[in-house]
Amino acid sequence: MSDSLSGGAPAVDVRVIEANQRVHSQLATQYNETEPHFRPENKAKVRRRLESIATAAPGRDRLLDLGCGTGFLLDLAHDLFTRLDGVDATRAMLDRVDLSPGNIVLHEGVVEHLPFEDATFDVVTAYSFLDHLADHRPVLAEASRVLKPGGKLYVDLIPNRSFWRGIFDASESSRSELDPIVEREIHELVNHEAKLQEQFGIDPVDWRFAEPAKSEGKGFDAATLRQETDQCGFDSDIRFEWYLGQAVAMHGTSMEAAELIDAHLRRLLPVSAHLFKYLVLTATKR
């Protein structure tokens, strides 16, 4: 099922919305095949998190996925809730969502002004999305508004500012040699615009507007994000995720070795915070 958002004009940056539409229209046909979060091990990890969140939610009636894209989270959670609503601004991405479960409703539009009544949802999710917003704070407020008391917010793959800035600083280092793990991460982040242009023909200016938190702020500060979420009526928790070189440990050594390193770095928090690439936000509406 599908419908289009209507109502009052939301306060959004039109340049950011339009850039996202152009970029993701170009990516849509290959998105599920090229994005790393569709890898089996990541899907299994996110599924476990969704199961835990569903168990702790006030009910399993409705889930809302913000920036649902091609349906990554909707696909993983469709059997956990009676109805799932997905919102995205890009028609080409929505067209790839698998609607065969029969309980998914899609809405084409922006997330800063949601067409839902207060206290409608048990869970609100957003995966790899917060960095696509000109200002994430109104979206946190909207998520709080449409959640039931005790409802759960789950936001994943949030760029960690201290990691992002560390990689960009390393790219400007005067050292002639860096470890291959660092070199690989520099190539991935610093040269990402050129890679998108070469592979998909995406204009680098469009990409900068489409992901302003990466191209301008270089990610999110964990303490600030927690404070902003709390101010929107949540009790929140932020977890650091995916340390530098984790893929090398997982695929080059073993999953057990990767987990051992992860546990060690977590013991060293907050000193080791800059070594984790992403943040995971989970919160409960007060």
Residues 93 and 28 sit within 8 Å (Cβ to Cβ): yes
The pLDDT tens digits for 1-36 are 545 444 444 467 899 999 999 999 999 999 999 899
Q: Please, which pLDDT band fits residue 216 given cuts at 50, 70 and 90?
A: low
- Name the average pLDDT for the chain: 92
Averaged over 130-156, what is the pLDDT?
Answer: 97
Assigned token pair, 93: 């991405």
Assigned token pair, 144: 């709080």
Cα separation, 144 vs 285, whole angstroms: 6
Checking phi first, is residue 233 left (phi over 0); if not, alpha (psi -120 to 50) or beta? left
CA terminus-to-terminus distance, the chain: 32
The pLDDT tens digits for 39-85 are 999 999 999 999 999 999 999 999 999 999 999 999 999 999 999 99
What is the CB neighbour count within 10 angstroms for residue 279?
27
The pLDDT tens digits for 96-116 are 999 999 999 999 999 999 999
Q: Domain 2-160+213-245+277-285 - what CATH class?
A: alpha beta
Query: pTM, whole model, 2 decimals?
Result: 0.93
- pLDDT, position 175: 72
The pLDDT tens digits for 226-262 are 999 999 999 999 999 999 999 999 999 999 999 999 9
